[in-house]
Amino acid sequence: MTTAAPVLLLGSSLTAKGAAASRAVGPWACAGLASGAESMNVKRWACEDSVALVALDDGGLLACVADAHFGGKTAELVCQHLLTAWGQARAAEPAARLREALFLLDGRLLERGRDDRSETTALAVHVKDRALAWANVGDSLLLVVGREAAALKNQPVMNFMGGRPLATLPAPVEVGTATLAPGDVVLLATDGLEWQASGLDPEQVAAALRKDDPLLARVDGLLDHANRRGRDNLGLVAVAV
């Protein structure tokens, strides 16, 4: 399924405010994590977000951002076991397979033991050639930034995994697909990118991603902003088409 080591950036690795980490998978995909300058809400960990990015053997990319609260353990578990769940899922189409993987991960979370009370969002994405597929639980953001326009592709809602079974949540797991254009940048972001947390409006985010800098430098710029002015943790994955 993959021979390359996944990029796995866990919240527990950032132990203080103003900390950040980022890594690239070649020139066209990267992931980053920042603890932020401060927190709008009380947190048990300095950073409760986690991110994962995996280059698959078939040329596709598998990615996830997860934003936990009451601690970051569930976000870490989702990102750590995403590739295994993807491999176990049997659906043929990527969006359905991602949805199935989230249900498999949900089962793992519900079996983890009650000493951990955290819950998490999870936005999982598959990109291959110009085909984008996603499955989403919660309020993370899936943006596609083109050369002239940017669009929010998913529908963020206040849902969390890890507290109750996915099948019982008020809103179902969201799935979707889109066709990408040359020059598009796909961005997965936890809600630390929203205006009230970052101070950045959608056009400012799009402008940051349209720069001529290497993709990792563009992501690092958003992480640096979060650690100077952000009011929440921030997890990002970016894929350039």
The CA-to-CA distance between both ends of the chain, in Å, stands at 21
The total of structural domains in the chain comes to 1
Give the tens place of pLDDT for each residue, 171-222.
Answer: 899 999 999 999 999 999 999 999 999 999 999 999 999 999 999 999 999 9
| Cβ pair 130, 180 in contact under 8 A | yes
Q: For residue 99, tell me if it sits in a domain.
A: yes
Residue 194 in domain: yes
Token pair, residue 17, equals 């405010």
Q: Is residue 58 assigned to a domain?
A: yes
Quickly count: other Cβ atoms within 10 Å of residue 56's Cβ. 18
What is the rounded CA–CA span in Å between residue 27 and residue 14?
25
Please choose, from the candidates 233, 140, 121, the residue with its C-alpha nearest in 3D space to the C-alpha of residue 187.
140
Residues in the chain where the model's pLDDT stays below 70 = 1-4
pLDDT at 165: 95
Tell me how many degrees the CA angle 41-230-73 measures, rounded to the nearest 5. Answer: 50
What are the tokens at 1? Answer: 């399924």
Position 38 scores a pLDDT of: 81
Q: Which residues contact 195 (CB under 8 A, 6 or more apart)?
A: 201
pLDDT of residue 2: 54
Give pLDDT, residue 39: 81
Domain containing 62: what range? Answer: 7-240
Is residue 2 domain-resident?
Answer: no
- At residue 1, the pLDDT reads 60
Q: Is residue 1 part of a domain?
A: no
Residue 132 in domain: yes
Overall pTM > 0.85: yes
The CATH number covering residue 195 comes to 3.60.40.10
**Structure tokens that stand for 214 in this block:** 């290497």
Task: Summarize pLDDT for 107-120 with one digit per residue, the tens.
Answer: 999 998 778 999 99
